[in-house]
Amino acid sequence: MPTFTYMSRCDGCGQCVDICPSDIMHIDPVYRRSFNIEPNFCWECYSCVKACPQHAIDVRGYADFAPLGHSVRVLRDEKTRIITWKIRYRDGRLKEFTFPIRTTPWGSIKPPFEYAPPMAGSLSSPLLAHEPEALMVVALPALSALGPQH
C-alpha cells in the first residue's frame, strides 16, 4: 500500500521527506508538494502519514494484491501519547482502535552522561551500564561454573 499525497491538503512543509526511512517522499518541483517517487520501495510503514501535520498523506493498498475501496487512517498524538486507528473495509464495515504509545513525556530520558562516571577499572569487567541493579538479580550470570572449553 504505497503512500500518496492529496493535492488540496499538502502545504509542502517537507516533514515526510525528512522522516521517510526509504527516502522516497520528495517535493515535486512544479507543484511544491510532496509525492511518493518510488512506490515499489514503500514499506507502508506510515512514518510519513503519522508525521504529516496536514493529514495530507494516505495509503492505497498495493495494486498487485489489494482491491480498491479500503482505508486505514491514523492519528498519532505525542501530547496525549495515544494513537488512534480507523479502518474502513471495502464493504463499508468500520473498526476503530486506540493504543498507548509511551508512558513518559517526550524528551524525558536521562542521558548516560548524567549518571555518575563509572569507577576506575570497571571498563574491563563484563558489566554493562546500570548493571547489576538494572538486571534485578543479584549478579550478572557467568558461565565459568559450567566449564567452558578452554
Least separation in angstroms between residue 37's CB and another protein is: 7
The CB-of-81 to another protein minimum distance in angstroms stands at: 8
Give the integer Cα–Cα distance in Å for 26 and 32.
10
Establish if 142 lies at the interface with another protein (CB under 8 A): yes
C-alpha cell at 119: 569507577
**Which residues face 59 on adjacent strands?**
3
Residues 19-48 that bind another protein (CB under 8 A): 19-24, 26, 37-47
If one asks whether residue 1 binds another protein (CB under 8 A), the answer comes out as yes
Q: Which of 6, 31, 41, 43 is catalytic?
A: 43
Q: Does the active-site annotation cover 85?
A: no
CB neighbour class for 39 (10 Å; exposed up to 12, middle 13-18, buried from 19): middle
Shortest distance, CB of residue 84 to another protein, whole angstroms? 10
Site for another protein in 46-75 (CB under 8 A): 46-47, 59, 61-72
136 binds another protein (CB under 8 A): yes
Instruction: For residue 6, give the C-alpha cell.
Output: 492529496
Q: Which is nearer to another protein, 8 or 100 (CB)?
A: 100
> Which H or E element spans position 74?
strand 71-77
Q: What are phi and psi of 17, to 5 degrees?
A: -65, -40
C-alpha distances out from residue 106 to 16, 49, 60, 114, Å? 20, 20, 31, 18
Give residues 93-122 in contact with another protein (rule: CB under 8 A): 93, 95, 97, 99-109, 111-113, 115, 117-118
> Quick one: which segment of 4-12, 27-35, 83-91 binds another protein (CB under 8 A)?
83-91
